[in-house]
Amino acid sequence: IGGRCTHLRAQLGKGALEGTALTCPWHGSQFEVTTGKLLRWVQEPLLIRIFGALVPPFLRRGVPSYEVKVEDGQVHVKI
């Protein structure tokens, strides 16, 4: 998936991965790593959660996802 959160552009590589759910390190939004789909919108802290609720639904989106395959021990990512 893409490396930046769609909300405040936080580096998702610094977030926590639990199963296939990746949590944004800045405010707690979660993304499905196999599809990029948004699982949960802004959660933390409270002030950001309040302002996050004002963001129109069409802007609450997942991150880009990329097709990946492994051949002969090499990882290929289609971008």
Instruction: Give the tens place of pLDDT for each residue, 11-50.
Output: 999 999 999 999 999 888 999 999 999 998 877 667 766 7
Q: What is the pLDDT of residue 25?
A: 93
Whether the pLDDT of residue 51 is over 80: the answer is no
Q: Global pTM?
A: 0.76
The pLDDT score that the predictor gives to residue 49 is 67
- Report residue 4 as tokens: 């930046």
How far is it, in rounded angstroms, from Cα 7 to Cα 40?
12
pLDDT tier, 52 (very low <50, low <70, confident <90, very high otherwise) = low
Give the separation between CA 51 and CA 16, rounded to whole angstroms. Answer: 23
